[in-house]
């Protein structure tokens, strides 16, 4: 029963940026260290990017992740070489220990949209994709990876998508909002077309994608400004008929659990076919601004292998299977992250469950993710 983890991560090392183009190398991200007695505690390392410290450790706009080499990173079961993929063999050993055959890699630093200069962002994307392509080539086929793109420059994004495809990526990373632009923005259509042409899915991952929304929250930012925007992304994709417009495109919603999806589907349906006001017997006016010729009920996309979502092992799985079916759910460990989404014992716990069949377990543990990601 091969296992494909739909959501693993790399902790980006400084070495990733060692070969950036000469024009951008002086502006590369560098690690800085805070004193031991700050709010950062044992997460004392931060990235300095465009003069800003990332992540923001406190106050409004707070974000969170751990940099490799910090004291906190040293307490992880995964070695720093494993975290950064500098030691691919260590990552493969770590995957063996938790029952993972193949893992799809997402970024960590780029879970925060923090770069203002779009040209610099493009250079960072190229450096990241080069590094991940090299790591995957050393993995004996066991690491898949999602390319990152400078979405705000669609022409450059399409060029980088094609280059990353040649490097061997299996998907395209984004978040629920791209700075302050919605995923159904027509400026992104050339990106979706290129992804469709190359059989690359769009993986909409948890993250602080909207700089404005991120600035609202001083507490609970992981949930409020990183997880919730994935639900916004779901609404943008489904309400606008994006999958109807691009008939080969696949989308996945990553690292937010899945129990929100039946609720969101019902809300999308109410937008498309608003309820009748009982007092007047008149149907409310719909709020669609898009061409409804492309709209389909969201469940059709799950049934046709066009929409997928990662789930958490402690969710109500029978409920999810009843309302979403068995073909669109994917397991994820978040390894080697250690945040609220992480579950490094996912495989062992799912195998022990007696409320679902072995046939369905195989779909959830690997078959569905294999259909989502490009080979």
pLDDT in tens, 129-164: 999 999 999 999 999 999 999 999 999 999 999 999
Instruction: Tell me the three state secondary structure of residue 305.
Output: coil
User: Does the structural domain 4-9+79-372 have CATH classification 3.30.465.10?
Assistant: no
Q: Supply 7's token pair.
A: 């959501």
Contact 176, 183 (CB under 8 A): yes
> What is the pLDDT confidence band of residue 341, given thresholds at 50, 70 and 90?
confident
Instruction: Tell me the three state secondary structure of residue 166.
Output: helix
> What is the pLDDT confidence band of residue 372, given thresholds at 50, 70 and 90?
very high
With 0-12 / 13-18 / 19 or more C-beta atoms within 10 angstroms meaning exposed / middle / buried, residue 151 is: buried
More confident residue, 83 or 39: 83
The DSSP annotation for 190-242 comes to HHHHHHHHTT--EEEE-SB--HHHHTT-SSSHIIIIIIHHHHHHHHHHHHTTH
Nearest to 313 by CA among 252, 259, 359: 259
- Average pLDDT of the segment spanning 185-202: 98
pLDDT in tens, 52-87: 999 988 888 888 899 999 999 999 999 999 999 999
- Average pLDDT of the segment spanning 323-327: 96
Q: What is the phi/psi pair of residue 332, to 5°?
A: -155, 140
Amino acid 59: pLDDT: 86
Q: What is the phi/psi pair of residue 307, to 5°?
A: -130, 140
How far apart, in Å, are the Cα atoms of 228 and each of 115, 297, 362? 21, 22, 29
Contact 244, 237 (CB under 8 A): no
Contact 302, 258 (CB under 8 A): no
Integer Cα distance of 358 and 340 in angstroms: 28
Contact 258, 312 (CB under 8 A): yes
> What is the pLDDT confidence band of residue 371, given thresholds at 50, 70 and 90?
very high
**Domain boundaries along the sequence of the chain:** 4-9+79-372
Q: Supply 100's token pair.
A: 């993972």
Integer Cα distance of 322 and 320 in angstroms: 5
Q: What is the phi/psi pair of residue 102, to 5°?
A: -135, 145
DSSP 308: E
The residue count of the chain comes to 375
- Average pLDDT of the segment spanning 217-223: 87
Per-residue pLDDT for 282 more than 80?
A: no
Per-residue pLDDT for 270 more than 60?
A: yes
What is the widest separation between alpha-carbon atoms in the chain? 68
Which residues 6+ apart lie within 8 Å of 1 measured at CB?
358, 361, 362, 365, 366
Integer Cα distance of 373 and 144 in angstroms: 8
Integer Cα distance of 19 and 220 in angstroms: 37
pLDDT in tens, 4-17: 999 999 999 999 99
DSSP 4: E
Amino acid 285: pLDDT: 54
Integer Cα distance of 368 and 93 in angstroms: 24
């Amino acid at each position: 029963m091969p296992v494909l983890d739909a959501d693993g991560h790399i902790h980006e090392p400084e070495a990733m940026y060692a070969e950036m183009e000469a024009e951008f190398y002086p502006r590369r991200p560098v690690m800085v260290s805070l004193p031991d007695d700050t709010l950062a505690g044992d997460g004392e390392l931060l990235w300095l990017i465009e003069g800003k410290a990332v992540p923001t450790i406190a106050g409004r706009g707070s974000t969170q992740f751990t940099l490799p080499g910090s004291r906190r990173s040293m307490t992880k079961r995964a070695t720093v070489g494993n975290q950064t993929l500098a030691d691919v063999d260590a990552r493969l050993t770590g995957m063996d220990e938790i029952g993972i055959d193949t893992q799809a890699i997402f970024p960590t630093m780029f879970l925060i949209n923090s770069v203002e200069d779009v040209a610099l962002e493009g250079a960072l994307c190229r450096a990241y994709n080069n590094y991940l392509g090299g790591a995957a080539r050393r993995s004996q086929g066991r690491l898949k990876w999602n390319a990152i793109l400078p979405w705000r420059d669609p022409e450059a994004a399409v060029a980088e998508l094609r280059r990353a495809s040649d490097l061997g990526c299996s998907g395209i990373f984004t978040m629920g909002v791209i700075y302050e632009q919605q995923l159904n923005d027509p400026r992104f259509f050339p990106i979706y077309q290129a992804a469709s042409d190359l059989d690359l899915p769009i993986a909409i991952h948890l993250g602080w994608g909207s700089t404005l929304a991120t600035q609202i929250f001083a507490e609970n930012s992981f949930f409020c400004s990183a997880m919730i925007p994935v639900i916004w992304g779901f609404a943008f994709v489904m309400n606008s008929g994006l999958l109807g417009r691009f008939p080969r495109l696949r989308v996945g919603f990553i690292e937010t659990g899945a129990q929100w999806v039946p609720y969101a589907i019902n809300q999308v349906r109410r937008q498309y076919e608003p309820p009748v006001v009982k007092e007047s017997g008149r149907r409310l006016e719909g709020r669609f601004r898009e061409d409804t010729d492309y709209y389909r009920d969201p469940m059709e996309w799950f049934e046709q292998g066009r929409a997928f979502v990662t789930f958490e092992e402690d969710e109500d799985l029978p409920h999810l299977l009843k309302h979403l079916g068995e073909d669109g759910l994917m397991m994820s460990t978040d390894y080697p992250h250690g945040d609220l989404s992480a579950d490094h014992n996912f495989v062992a716990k799912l195998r022990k469950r007696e409320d679902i069949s072995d046939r369905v377990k195989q779909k959830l543990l690997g078959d569905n993710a294999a259909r989502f990601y490009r080979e």
